[in-house]
Amino acid sequence: MTIAPSPTIERGKRDKEQRRQCLIDSATAVFAERGYDCATTREVAERANCAEGLIHRYFNGKRGLLLAILESRATQVVEDFVGALPDRDTPEDEIEGIILWHLDTMWQRRDFMRVAVSQAAVDSEIGRTINEGIHNERVRLTKQKLERHQLDGRIRSGVDIEAIAQTITGVGFALGFSFQVSLGQDRELARRIAIEAAATLSRGISRR
């Protein structure tokens, strides 16, 4: 005989998950607005309309909250990437779309990106979390797209697809964050560079 789970237990679990997600969402906003160092767990709790003690219970403090935000972002990478980037007919269009997606995504999330990148520079665990969850996932998805073109004969068989996928992701970060956010360069210039970079990369790997 199968015993159904207690509705009270299920409701309590859902409430906990909802409070936890609310704290993550609120921390994302507060960190972006105030910066990580200036933000306090009290502000996050007030924004989430939750008790401050829940932050320590669920996340073990402010640093744990930041790690939870990054882990949450990692789970969204596939959905965002796939939703925004349908397969293209040529390697050049594929690469251009991916790099431009990085530019747009990093600009839209620029305030929180400043927090994440600055903390990654001084906290190796945060850096590893970004690398293993977000960066590696973007590389994997890019690699899948390039492999399709290679299988169809549009990219030469001897091309190291892993290396090219890492390069595209690196260019996307360099232009999307370093160039247009950190250095404050013109966004239209960043887009022109991205388009030219895509054309150059595709010429180097395409079957002529």
In this prediction, residues 115-138 reach a mean pLDDT of 93
Q: Is the pLDDT of residue 3 over 80?
A: no
> Where are the domains positioned within the chain?
1-60, 69-205
pLDDT of amino acid 12: 56
Could you report the per-residue pLDDT of 33-82, keeping only the tens digit for each?
Answer: 999 999 999 999 999 999 999 999 999 999 999 999 998 888 888 889 99
Could you report the per-residue pLDDT of 15-31, keeping only the tens digit for each?
Answer: 888 899 999 999 999 99
The secondary structure of residue 3, as a DSSP letter, is P
Q: From 1.10.357.10, 3.40.50.620, 3.40.50.720, 1.10.8.290, which CATH number describes the 69-205 domain? A: 1.10.357.10
CA-based nearest residue to 196, from 95, 85, 57, 87: 95
Report the CATH fold assignment for 1-60: Arc Repressor Mutant, subunit A (1.10.10)
Could you report the per-residue pLDDT of 142-193, keeping only the tens digit for each?
Answer: 999 999 999 999 999 999 999 999 999 999 999 999 999 999 999 999 999 9
pLDDT of amino acid 75: 81
CA-based nearest residue to 133, from 75, 62, 84: 75
Using CB atoms within 10 A of its CB, is residue 181 exposed (0-12), middle (13-18) or buried (19+)? Answer: buried
